[in-house]
Homo-oligomer: A and B are copies of this chain.
Amino acid sequence: MESIDKISGTFGKRCNEPKTNVSSAVIRRLPRYHRFLGDLLREGKLRISSAELSRIMNVTASQIRQDLNCFGGFGQQGYGYNIKFLYNKISELLGVNESFNAVIIGAGKLGCALAATHMFERRGVNRLAMFDVNPDIIGTRIYDVPVYSVSELGKFCKENNVHIGVITVPKEAAPEITDVIVEAGVKGIWNFANIEINLDRDDVIVENIHLGDSLMALCYEIKTANEKREEND
């Protein structure tokens, strides 16, 4: 079995850049590798060849080698990638080991659907609490996450070192919620409200999710495929 050190040694040879400077194109592809490698680990697999990974991920083996060789994680030729090593390297690079704290603001259907998933824990993010205005659920726990009044949001974020605010409130309420959490020191906003949050500051990162844009892209692709079929008929 090769040691981690030996593999890391290979890293320096293959990559000219320090690991924090992996190209942004590779960075954008890494969460997908993380997902597939995580699934393989949970299935108890230890190693995988680039050909096999290529098959299940539906990308070329040469793309995989390009993307992953910068992290080392491969032993002798023919033995494939060390899954756990690669998974850990990618986790580290992406910040999965940072133990960020998150709160979900809005305990409606979408907020609860997000709270119910393994998404947070798998990415090393702690769901500390949910916040809502509905007195019927304030004080309860949903999927073992405590629900507090939104009036306590700012204080809670300050006292509990909250890094990430997940916004699932109606669009009208989103700007005020944003002000509260940014003032309380939150460094990242994962916004599902149907409004774009653009902050004039570079110390808070915003990821706006617009599922409707994806539905629209799907409609466009279906329409285009239909048109092609009709042309060929």
A158: Cβ under 8 A from any B Cβ = no
- The smallest C-beta distance from A222 to any residue of chain B, in angstroms, reads 4
Complexed CA–CA distance, A98 and B198 (Å): 32
A79: Cβ under 8 A from any B Cβ = no
Complexed CA–CA distance, A212 and B96 (Å): 12
Q: Is the CB of A95 within 8 A of B220?
A: yes
A125: Cβ under 8 A from any B Cβ = yes
Q: How large is the interface on A (under 10, 10 to 19, 20 to 34, 35 or more residues)?
A: 35 or more
**Copies of this chain in its oligomeric complex:** 2
Q: Is the CB of A96 within 8 A of B188?
A: no
Q: Is the CB of B210 within 8 A of A35?
A: yes
Interface pick from A4-12, A43-51, A80-88, A106-114: A106-114
A63: Cβ under 8 A from any B Cβ = no
Q: Is the CB of A27 within 8 A of B210?
A: no
Complexed CA–CA distance, A98 and B118 (Å): 36
Residues in A lying within 8 Å of B, measured CB to CB: 20, 27-28, 30-32, 34-35, 57-58, 93-96, 98, 100, 108-110, 112-114, 116-120, 122-125, 163-164, 187-188, 190, 194, 196, 198, 202-203, 205, 207, 209-227, 229
Complexed CA–CA distance, A209 and B32 (Å): 11
Residues of B within 8 A of A219 (CB): 94-96, 98, 100, 123-125, 164, 188
Look across to chain B and name the residue whose beta carbon is closest to the beta carbon of A221. B205
Complexed CA–CA distance, A222 and B96 (Å): 11
Using known A-B contacts A187-B225, A218-B164, A222-B164, determine if residue A213 contacts B100 with beta carbons closer than 8 Å: no
- The smallest C-beta distance from A111 to any residue of chain B, in angstroms, reads 9
At the interface, is chain A mostly helix, strand, loop or mixed?
helix
Look across to chain B and name the residue whose beta carbon is closest to the beta carbon of A29. B213
Residues of B within 8 A of A123 (CB): 212, 215-216, 219
Residues of B within 8 A of A32 (CB): 210, 213
- The smallest C-beta distance from A166 to any residue of chain B, in angstroms, reads 9
- The smallest C-beta distance from A96 to any residue of chain B, in angstroms, reads 7
Complexed CA–CA distance, A221 and B188 (Å): 8
Q: Is the CB of A163 within 8 A of B28?
A: no
Residues of B within 8 A of A222 (CB): 95, 98, 100, 163-164, 187-188, 205
Selected from B20, B57, B210, B220, the residue in CB contact (under 8 A) with A227 is B20
